[in-house]
Amino acid sequence: MVDTCFVEELASAAPVPGGGGASAYVGALAAALASMVGSLTVGKKTYAEVEGEVVHHLEELKGLRSRLIELVDADARAFKPLAAAYRMPKDTPEELAAKQEAIQRALVGATEVPLDIMRAVARVIDHADYLAHHGSRMARSDAGVSAAFARAAVDGASLNVYINAASMDDADRARRVREEASAIASTTRERCDELFDFVVKEVS
């Protein structure tokens, strides 16, 4: 049932997938776990009053799961031109200039994709939080795992933003992406911790 291909590729010496793709995958798992809570809520008489809202959250989470899976591949695609640029020759001033230009161009995508991952995961926690509080109490532990995964996904993706922004010549762009990544990471980390603590209290 479990497809191990991604895990085996991740474990190999291949440059992709890497930490960014893994973060997107973990984010998709966070969305899937939140969806599980919703799916176990729909159709239950106990939760009839919130069923319409739960269905809405399930629809949103479905889109986020798909987006995060897309971002697994997008991260790999964004890294390939960067890896190729770093392999370019630099024996002459012209070659060095071309290499630097290619690197700087590729760094844009290499920072935007992990930022997209962070943005998507930040939205996942909105839905996980609602479902943890209003969804099936029998599945609250899964909402807690969703929060733990979302935190890891955001933190992991942020590292890819920081490492690539550090190589940018465009100081303004580097500052903007670092600030956005830090803001998303800080806010999402706090929300994930709050949700996780809530679940611990509820299930203990």
Share of the chain above pLDDT 70, in %: 100
Provide the mean pLDDT of the chain. Answer: 96
Cα(74)–Cα(24) distance, rounded to whole angstroms? 10
3-state secondary structure of 177: helix
Cα(24)–Cα(125) distance, rounded to whole angstroms? 14
pTM: 0.94
Tell me: the pLDDT tens digits for 126-166? Answer: 999 999 999 999 999 999 999 999 999 999 999 999 999 99
As a 3-state breakdown, the chain gives helix, strand, coil percent values, each rounded to 5, of 85, 0, 15
Cα(103)–Cα(5) distance, rounded to whole angstroms? 30
